[in-house]
Amino acid sequence: MNDIPNFAAWSNANLAKFALEAYLKMQEQQDYIMQLQGDFKDAMVQLRKLTGSLPVNDKSLPTRR
């Protein structure tokens, strides 16, 4: 990756703004990942109920928080 920003040249205000925006975006992404994990778990539970293939209370899947 050759387009790396020169963070050393950034002002403190620009660095703080960038850090805040990056943090908020990562929090949003983490929330979305957790929702998807919960949706996946719910779908797997329903699939197992329909197919009877594995126990419904499988602890190996991530839990909804």
In this predicted structure, the answer to whether residue 50 has a pLDDT above a threshold of 80 is yes
Task: Give residue 2's pLDDT band: very low, low, confident or very high (50, 70, 90).
Answer: confident
Could you tell me which residues come within 8 angstroms of residue 44 by beta carbon, excluding any fewer than 6 positions away? 58, 61
- What are the two backbone dihedrals, phi and then psi, of residue 7, each rounded to the nearest 5 degrees? -60, -30
pTM more than 0.85: no
In this predicted structure, the answer to whether residue 57 has a pLDDT above a threshold of 80 is no
Domain residue spans of the chain:
11-65
